[in-house]
Amino acid sequence: MKRTMIGGQALFEGVMMKNNDQYATAIRLEDGTIDVQVRDYVALVDKLHLRKVPILRGVFIFLDSMIIGMRTLTYSIDLTEDENSDAELGNKTGKAKVKEGFAIGGTILLSLALALALFLVLPNFLANVVKRFSDSAFLFALVEGIVRLIIFFVYVWAIACMKEIKRFFQYHGAEHKTINCLEAGDELTPENVLKHSRFHKRCGTSFIVWVLIISIIFFMFIHADTKLLEILYRLVLVPVIAGVSYEFIRYAGLHDNKCVRIFSGPGFLVQRLTTREPDETMAEVAIKSVEAVMDWQAYQEAMRNGEIED
């Protein structure tokens, strides 16, 4: 049996899990039931036959993640909104959750716009102070990269402090715990899931952290005569940096040694902010999402029998 690298994402009151050419959304409704939807999705990396092409595959896998992520997040908010709109007008809990859903969606969209300004403009502006004391392009790139990392940590911390985001991050924790439970070969029950770590080496948060770290290394060696040319070089290198970052995350997901654990540390540090401990009801939702896209019992049996191929 081919090794599966199931991945997922937290949703508003739910979890999305993707395995091969299918992804499932499991969302807890107001009445306590779980709405599960399965959809097919042929990834761009497969359409272009790039699955076995290092670096390049990471770029398109990232694009696929963005497409599915925004699609399923929007769906989860819409589903909850539609459900609550059918409730009685006096149902304040339903209205509150709709408001919370819009708050999460609006926060994420606003965050993307703010991040663009913070990560592209502010670090460069602050790093220009270095030029008053040194003409070293190497030092400038290093300071700019460190400033960008600091801004990212503060930015994530600020989001994590928002009350509306807490449950969203709890579902993020449930997603990680469920995948860790699956990969450890334990039966997928809410009780077992909660025993596992809420941190995962293949998390998108870790991917972003490594994009920032690797960009520091790449940008140290960029030398251009004009600012416009420097920006152009950097834009061209962005897909390369994303591809290299993906290769590291992919390797970390397939191996477990001291070196991998050390280099996974920065991502785990940020995941302390972007995940929260879930409860059993959230773990149940994540399990339903996994069950919709794979036969996890058969997969774990194949793992125990040594029948899994990389």
- Name the domain count of the chain: 1
Q: Is residue 282 part of a domain?
A: yes
Strand order in the sheet with 34-40: 7-11, 14-19, 22-28, 34-40
Q: Is residue 309 part of a domain?
A: no
pLDDT for res 203: 93
Token look-up 């995962």 returns: 200
Other CB atoms within a 10 A radius of the CB of residue 134 amount to: 11
Contact 172, 274 (CB under 8 A): yes
CA dist., res. 36 & res. 284, Å (int): 12
Q: Which residues contact 145 (CB under 8 A, 6 or more apart)?
A: 123, 212, 213, 215, 216, 219, 220
- Stretches in the chain below the pLDDT threshold 70: 1-2, 82-121, 310
Which residues span the domain enclosing 28? 7-304
CA dist., res. 17 & res. 38, Å (int): 10
pLDDT for res 94: 53
pLDDT for res 102: 57
Contact 308, 3 (CB under 8 A): yes
Decide: helix, strand or coil at residue 22.
Answer: strand
Token look-up 């030029």 returns: 131
Q: Is residue 33 part of a domain?
A: yes
Q: What is the pTM (predicted TM-score) of this model?
A: 0.85
pLDDT for res 49: 93
Q: Is residue 310 part of a domain?
A: no
Comparing C-alpha atoms, which of 131, 141, 175 is closest to residue 274? 175
Q: Is residue 220 part of a domain?
A: yes
